Amino acid sequence: MPAVKNIVLVHGAWGDASHWRHVIPPLHAKGYRIAAVQNPLTSLADDVERTRKLAESLEGPTLLVGHSYGGAVISGAGHAANVVGLVYVAAFAPDEGDSLGSIFARREPPSGAASIRPDKDGFLWLAQDTFRESFGQDLSETEALVMAVAQKPIAGRCFEDRAGTPAWKTKPSWYQVSRHDHMIPPETEQWMAERIKAKKIITLDASHASLASHAKEIVALIDEAIASLG
């Protein structure tokens, strides 16, 4: 298999591609070709299609990296022929027929769920005044403030949409668990990591925003995944 040079970074709910700002520079310095998708967050199908098209536009073997809801997206978009692996960062890894809602229903709601605010158009926001404690309690106040103010809402239907056959059943995967996650229970992350038979599982003393607060470790996991793919 040719060496993997392409990486597609996939953001989650309440954010956009800028959530990867601490991961992009070190990956770029290593010589990787990086693309960070800007998903509409309007439906799981819409987001899978946008990510798949971006991945397919790159020449050669490509690694998909998804944070949070982005894990559900890469599970679908990973069927693109040139995608050779998947990295889940404190992310959902649904099986066929799962929804985010059905995965949440397996345990008591995480504390961050209390910060979710629906609007009249069917989109969900995180309350700005509790954004930091819910999404990224290990971020600086300034960084959390910018994320809270610049957040991108997600359509409520994205929590109801059912996943199709996931790419992790046929392509190798890696998983990062956040021990202090307030948006997805850490026990749920560990369960998903084991269910997908991840080649490696790392656990960080991190919030849900591990891609920002522990960028060095996330870059190392991506590096290791690519090295093992040859």
Whether 58 has a pLDDT exceeding 60, the answer reads yes
- The pTM of the full predicted model, rounded to 2 decimals, is 0.97
Contact 84, 1 (CB under 8 A): yes
Whether 3 has a pLDDT exceeding 90, the answer reads no
Per residue in 114-148, pLDDT (tens digit) is 999 999 999 999 999 999 999 999 999 999 999 99
Per residue in 59-112, pLDDT (tens digit) is 899 999 999 999 999 999 999 999 999 999 999 999 999 999 999 999 999 999
Name every residue whose Cβ is closer than 8 Å to that of residue 105 and which is 6 or more positions away in sequence.
none
For residue 230, what pLDDT is reported?
78
- How far is 42 from 38, CA to CA, in rounded Å? 12
Whether 2 has a pLDDT exceeding 80, the answer reads no
Tally Cβ neighbours within 10 Å of residue 51.
27
